[in-house]
Chains A and B, each alone.
Chain A
Amino acid sequence: MDPEILFLILTTAVKIIVFTFVCTLPIIAYSTYAERRVSSIIQDRVGPNRVGIPLTLFGAKKDIPFSGLLQPLADGLKAFLKEDLVPAHVRKFFFWIAPALTAAPAFLCICIIPFGSSITVFDQPVKLVIADIDAGPLFIFAIASLSVYGITFAGWASNNKYSFLGGVRSCAQMISYEISLGLSLIPILMVFGQLNLSDIVQTQAQNGWTLLPLWNEHGSIFDAGYWQNCKEQWLLMIPLTISFIVFTTSIFAETNRMPFDLPECETELVGGYHTEYSSMKFALFFLGEYAAMIVGSAVIVTLFFGGWSLGFGLDAAISSMSLGGLIHILIFLTKVIAFVIFFIWVRWTVPRFRYDQLMKLGWVVFFELALVNIFITAGIIMLLN
């Protein structure tokens, strides 16, 4: 076989394994732990702080205390060992396939996110992106829309009026917010001229992040050259901030996360569409929700906060190191984790929206706002040229 193709296949396989199993899945597991701990800090309580290595199960005298850090492992073990109840009145095919259909699209979206710049392997540069396609966000919209199927199947197949209502509400909510999700990214396309996520991050590394344009090609805010050339960046920040607000709120709605979690809150609908699910199927729904949250945060970080770039012109220095891409991965993961904590923070701050308020926000407010935003961006770009 052609050594080029072999190299490509090998590096892609390694990237898939590392980005999914070493980067994303542990972050998903620990974001469940972080959710419980951060929620309890906000709420004046303790959260899980006792799980350690249970050596007493094997006859030793004391457990090794780990202050609750092994809680996700304990939860995962519980999910495997719990009894998997399938009620007799469900439609079996859709009941079984629904959790997979919800979780798989969230994991699929990991492949276009640029985790880092590039590293040099055997004198060849390898970009730290699994699939460097030119239609980045479009891929995410297409694939993330598939998770609507999973939720609809779950609500319908459970043969239970509360699940059905939860599934219908969730499906309608997700579809409504996909419009504003897509429309709010058109200003980004107009400003950057392309949708290739790695190139967008590269441009942001050189010209300042979209929402924090503190440097450009002529230096950072400490240099005079920056201030003479920065009018464009700051003017464009106005419509792009509106775009950021619409996009972030739509991501909250897409992942059924507070304040939009009416389909799955306990007070309204028992468990919503995942009422009838137990053990591993429920764990898949749960994992899919957190994976969608993390992928959403990763896309927001990539488009609006510079992805893997550190800023202030230091990225060229980091990229010139042969393993500089790995440092960039750490920077990227830090930003994503900060955003996930923001998700948790918002959950305990904003009260839940009523369903009609939610739909009005999606169809009336955000749709119009995103459309108007496109015209504003076009106007500003015309002004600047």
Chain B
Amino acid sequence: MAIIKIKRPQLTFAEKLYLPAVIKGLSITFGHALRAVLGKTPGAKRNFNSSGLGITMQYPETKWDDQLPDYYRGVPALVTDEKGRERCVSCQLCEFICPPKAIAIIPTEIESDDPWAKVEKRPAEFDIDMTRCIYCGMCEEVCPEQAIYLRKDYSMTGLSRSEMVNDKERLYEIGGVRTGLVNKWNDIK
């Protein structure tokens, strides 16, 4: 392999002095600062959902909720059917796959005199600890009943650890009713 001699670029006298470059840089920064204060920079035209002072968005006055993509992963919630049936059958697959083990399920049986007795199981308790949830969406992917979905809410706060645990009522409250799902437990016609 031949030896390649690298020629360093020859610096001009002004470049060796370094100060002219510094002064030129100072003028660029100063010009930008002036334009920012006078409102002439790109961010100031409020075209990036910005606040006028820069490209920064002033949350919570300006939010980006209308731009969230369809696949955005927010807070997980359980959904109810059009017929009012809770879709979760407490198979505990989501509990098994949840990486930080945020889900805790206690299943119970459905009594034989219930109209949905053939489903056999429902969750007695279903807790998702939001301080552990990492919003990965594995529970939504693995659920065989299309019962758990990740919504588009992202800001979930609480003042104590117990407030941050979503229990079953809260989960169904957040989830609401979802239509267009596969109702495999319906009677065969």
Contacts and interface: CB of A to CB of B under 8 A. Distances in A.
Interface of A: 38, 40-47, 49, 245, 345-346, 348-350
B36 A46 contact: no
B80 interface: no
Contacts of B54: 40-41, 43-46
Contacts of B58: 46
Contacts of B19: 245
Interface string B42-63: 1100000001011110100000
Given A41-B33, A41-B37, A245-B19, A46 B53 contact: yes
Interface residues of B, number: 20
B32 interface: yes
Contacts of A349: 22, 25-26, 28-29
B33 A42 contact: yes
Contacts of A346: 22, 26
Interface of B: 19, 22, 25-26, 28-30, 32-33, 36-37, 41-43, 51, 53-56, 58
Contacts of A41: 33, 36-37, 54
B35 to A, nearest CB: 10
Contacts of B32: 42, 44
Most buried by B among A345, A346, A349: A349
B57 to A, nearest CB: 9
Contact of B41 (A44, A47, A345, A350): A44
Pick the 9 closest A-B CB pairs, nearest first: A45-B54, A46-B56, A349-B25, A44-B54, A45-B56, A349-B29, A46-B53, A41-B36, A42-B33
Given A44-B36, A245-B19, A345 B26 contact: yes
11 contacts: A41-B54, A42-B32, A43-B54, A44-B36, A44-B55, A45-B53, A45-B54, A45-B56, A245-B19, A349-B28, A349-B29
Given A44-B41, A346-B22, 19 more contacts: A40-B53, A41-B33, A42-B33, A42-B36, A43-B54, A44-B36, A44-B54, A44-B55, A45-B53, A46-B53, A46-B54, A46-B58, A245-B19, A345-B26, A345-B33, A346-B26, A349-B22, A349-B25, A349-B26
A49 B54 CA distance: 12
A252 B117 CA distance: 79
A245 B19 CA distance: 10
Contacts of B30: 345
Contacts of A45: 53-56
Main secondary structure of the interface of A (DSSP, over half): loop
Nearest to B41: A44
A43 B56 CA distance: 10
A40 B53 CA distance: 9
A276 to B, nearest CB: 29
Nearest to B44: A44
A182 to B, nearest CB: 22
Contacts of B26: 345-346, 349
A2 B66 CA distance: 78
B82 to A, nearest CB: 42
B124 to A, nearest CB: 40
A219 B72 CA distance: 72
Nearest to A341: B33
Contact of A44 (B22, B25, B28, B43): B43
Contacts of A43: 54
Nearest to B23: A349
A38 B58 CA distance: 18
